[in-house]
A and B are shown apart, each in its own frame.
Chain A
Amino acid sequence: MMSRIVRDVSRLTFPLFAMFGFYLVAHGHLTPGGGFQGGAIIASSIAMIMVAYGIYGLKEKLLSISELAGLFSFLILVYFGSHFAHSAVEEWFKLPVVGPNAGHLISAGVIPLMSIAVGFEVACGISIIVIAMRKGD
């Protein structure tokens, strides 16, 4: 548990950080950023709360199972995505190819889902690293 100032500031900024992370994850196919960066920001907001309040009660087992869930959903999405993505990749150099409603949040097929899966996995993974380092083993 840290001082009052640190606790209050981190409590106030936590929603902003987390929201920015979720924004990056959700807009991974539209703007620079994506699953990894957004996930890292979410994880750093979680780590900030953990350090400021000294709460390390998050269940490590739960986190690691959700990390593996994110990983497996990513792999499944890759499998499905690779069946539809070939034509788009091959055409890359001829003309930039975009699917239906380009530039909107719901576009680009499975890619936003993939970046959500990655964001989930990265957020859980980095939280696990922080907790494990705190425990020191």
Chain B
Amino acid sequence: MIDLVALLLDNTLSLIIVTPLMGAFVTELVARINKKWVFPLALISILVSSSFAFLLASQVYSGGVVSRAIESDNPAKLTVSLPSGSLLPIRIILEADGMSVLMAIIVAIMSLVVIIYSRKFIRKKLTLFYPLFLIMVSGTYGMMLTGDLFNLFVFIEIVSISGAGLITALDRKRAPDSAFKFLVMSTIGALIILTGIGLLYGQYDSLNIAFLAKSIHWTFLDKVAFALMLAGLAMKAGSVPMHMWVPDAYGDSPAPVSAFFVVGSQASLYALFRICFSLFGLSLNYVTAGWILIILGVLSMFVGVTMALPQKDIKRLMAFHAVSQTGYMLLGVGVGLTVLGTPAFAAFGFKAMEGGIFHVINHALYKGLLFLTAGAIFYATGTRKLNDIRGLAHYMPWTTVFFMVGAFSIAGLPPFNGFASKILIYESVYAFNPVLSAIAMLVSILTLASFIKVFYSAFLGPKPSKKPKRIPHSMLLAMLLLTLLILFFGLFPELIINNLIKPAVMALVNVSAYVGVFSGV
């Protein structure tokens, strides 16, 4: 018994990824026998993997970086010595530090909420949804926990293939167009990333992030590889010059899937940060890379919000806001990267990175909540067009409250979590460059205007003649969970920043901890 517990504790890292994957196969098999068992099984595998994720979080916060080699009884033996005397890593390793654990917590929360929400939202007959969703969850965990570049590519592809399948899960009329566009874009992105990985592998004979970080010399080919990986991951994260798939993919997928797509994009964002800070962290020219992130961020913020203003479709509108909010994270982290290693980093750079990374988790929560409320509106009325819906507050008081919380939070109004991270970004970016801070505030105001428009036209107004469908309790429960988390994060930001965000920023900035897995190299 003790052995079993020790074994589980020892293998948390791989079990997080394996549990949803096995769950997917089992649900696929069970769906052919009895369709009633599909949802409970999916729920159980999500619950198990989420609890493993929290377990891993406690391990990392108490004991530092956790790493685990796949297919090894002896985790210490990660390298072999070559005849020439140098050491070469041979195993595929999984590695978790503060940043990956923070992202894993986001996936744990969101996957749980989404699966509760899907119980009634997804038709009973549609058993294909759960295996695909579980595979996507597994791929997202994998992207965050892997310490190997090729595995990163494989998990990116897993996420995009299962995601493209999920887009068409409910809608067979409009969704295939969006899914095709999404799949073409993400395949090109992934192939660009693979070319970059190949360039690095050709030079340094390894795919291991920690090992590569030590051996990179910043040659011309390395610069090309960095540019290729940056472009591919920015494309997958939905940053502005390559954002055209975002509104289609988010807009036409079923609401719970859109809520999880946010996390999928953030996984790419995480990979972007990992590449900037850990892989090239020892050799990169911080100012250039930082300004690239800042420019991408400012463009995303501004273009996203201006495209969102005239939208008539509620989910497309929210999708453009997702692009715009991604800009805040890029801005915050980019400012941190620009001043990394200078005295200014202690003055405001650290705070900017805290703001950017705190915004990642906040964005997942409130954007998830907004997409879920949009799904509730769709469930009740059968349409997503803002012109066709009005006066829903008469019939759906709870959904109205949840939408208000989400909207105020995304606009950055004080008692909610969006304010907590945005104020950090405003303050620190003002110290760096006042113009950027002013743009960020302007975008926030435009966001508020856009959501007031949605609130006014969808929820206020005369009672609609047709009574909308009642929202099931499971959907309300999922939205309530997110609302409570948003309020908690908004009321006690210090608690979250000290316990979750600081270790994440430290993990990104302090490269030696991540690289130190190969202490012998």
A residues at B contact (CB < 8 Å): 61, 64-65, 68, 71-72, 82, 85-86, 89-90, 92-94, 137
Does B29 belong to the interface (CB within 8 Å)? yes
**CB atoms of B71 and A86 under 8 A apart:** yes
Chain B residues with Cβ below 8 Å from A89 are 71
Give Cα A137–Cα B168 distance, bound, in whole angstroms. 11
Known contacts A90-B77, A93-B80, A93-B82: A68-B71 contact under CB 8 Å: no
Closest CB of chain A to B325's CB: distance in Å? 36
Give Cα A85–Cα B32 distance, bound, in whole angstroms. 35
**CB atoms of B28 and A92 under 8 A apart:** no
Does B90 belong to the interface (CB within 8 Å)? yes
Q: Enumerate the 7 nearest inter-chain pairs by beta-carbon distance, A residue then B residue, closest first.
A: A93-B80, A68-B29, A86-B73, A82-B71, A71-B25, A65-B32, A61-B32
Chain A residues with Cβ below 8 Å from B29 are 68
Chain B residues with Cβ below 8 Å from A93 are 80, 82, 88, 90
Does B203 belong to the interface (CB within 8 Å)? no
Q: B10-32: which have CB < 8 Å to A?
A: 25, 28-29, 32
Query: Could you pull out 14 A-B pairs where Cβ atoms are within 8 angstroms?
Result: A61-B32, A64-B32, A65-B32, A71-B25, A82-B71, A86-B73, A89-B71, A90-B77, A92-B80, A92-B90, A93-B80, A93-B82, A93-B90, A137-B172
Does B72 belong to the interface (CB within 8 Å)? yes
**CB atoms of A68 and B25 under 8 A apart:** yes
Give Cα A137–Cα B25 distance, bound, in whole angstroms. 21
Which DSSP category, helix, strand, loop or mixed, fits chain A's interface? Answer: helix
Chain A residues with Cβ below 8 Å from B32 are 61, 64-65
In this complex, what residue of A is CB-closest to B88? A93
In this complex, what residue of A is CB-closest to B70? A82
Chain A residues with Cβ below 8 Å from B88 are 93
Q: B450-492: which have CB < 8 Å to A?
A: none
Give Cα A94–Cα B80 distance, bound, in whole angstroms. 9
Chain A residues with Cβ below 8 Å from B71 are 82, 85-86, 89
Closest CB of chain B to A67's CB: distance in Å? 10
Give Cα A124–Cα B32 distance, bound, in whole angstroms. 16
Chain A residues with Cβ below 8 Å from B90 are 92-93
In this complex, what residue of B is CB-closest to A83? B73
In this complex, what residue of A is CB-closest to B29? A68
Give Cα A26–Cα B372 distance, bound, in whole angstroms. 51
| Extra contacts besides A68-B29, A86-B71, A86-B72 (17): CB < 8 Å | A61-B32, A64-B32, A65-B32, A68-B25, A68-B28, A71-B25, A72-B25, A82-B71, A85-B71, A86-B73, A90-B77, A92-B80, A92-B90, A93-B80, A93-B82, A94-B80, A137-B172
Closest CB of chain B to A71's CB: distance in Å? 6
Closest CB of chain A to B129's CB: distance in Å? 15
Give Cα A85–Cα B70 distance, bound, in whole angstroms. 13
Closest CB of chain B to A62's CB: distance in Å? 11
Chain A residues with Cβ below 8 Å from B77 are 90
Chain B residues with Cβ below 8 Å from A86 are 71-73
Give Cα A111–Cα B481 distance, bound, in whole angstroms. 48
Chain B residues with Cβ below 8 Å from A82 are 71
Give Cα A68–Cα B31 distance, bound, in whole angstroms. 12
Closest CB of chain A to B156's CB: distance in Å? 21
In this complex, what residue of A is CB-closest to B91? A89
Give Cα A90–Cα B74 distance, bound, in whole angstroms. 10
Give Cα A129–Cα B25 distance, bound, in whole angstroms. 17
In this complex, what residue of B is CB-closest to A71? B25
Chain B residues with Cβ below 8 Å from A68 are 25, 28-29
Give Cα A94–Cα B82 distance, bound, in whole angstroms. 9
Chain B residues with Cβ below 8 Å from A64 are 32
Closest CB of chain A to B80's CB: distance in Å? 4
Give Cα A64–Cα B25 distance, bound, in whole angstroms. 12
In this complex, what residue of A is CB-closest to B81? A93
